């Protein structure tokens, strides 16, 4: 499952659609609010997934919240903080190659 918010959501949605068309098992959760953390929404969305990739335009602050909530799941981070938007290719790389 891909979790994204804000400006990264569009690139994440693009990757989600591409992987779905290719028949890959993928889910997408676009968060509209970060605080208070929507813990029940996140838990419900991740109930039947094994791995979560959190996409965010910072150094990984929100991924820590996801790890706290979903400690039993594999949670990976795809992010950057260099002034450039995260590309769909970078997200796809994080998903397919960990």
Q: For the chain, what is the mean pLDDT?
A: 95
* Domain at 23, CATH number: 3.40.50.920
Structurally, how many domains does the chain consist of?
1
CA atoms 23, 49, 15, 98: torsion sign? negative
CA atoms 25, 31, 37, 41: torsion sign? negative
What's the predicted TM-score (pTM) here?
0.94
Say if residue 38's pLDDT is above 90: yes
User: What are the pLDDT digits (tens) for 61-97?
Assistant: 899 999 999 989 999 999 999 989 999 999 999 998 8
Rounded CA gap, 25 and 58, in Å? 27
**Which residue segment(s) compose the domain that 50 sits in?**
2-97
């Amino acid at each position: 499952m891909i979790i994204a918010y804000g400006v990264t959501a569009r690139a994440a949605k693009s990757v989600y659609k591409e992987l779905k068309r290719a028949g890959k098992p993928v889910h997408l959760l676009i968060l509209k609010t970060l605080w208070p953390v929507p813990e029940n929404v996140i838990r419900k969305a991740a109930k039947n997934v094994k791995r979560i990739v959190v996409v965010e335009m910072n150094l990984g602050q929100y991924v820590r919240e996801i790890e706290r909530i979903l400690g039993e799941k594999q949670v990976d981070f795809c992010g950057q903080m260099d002034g450039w938007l995260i590309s769909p290719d970078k997200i796809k790389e994080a998903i397919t190659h960990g």
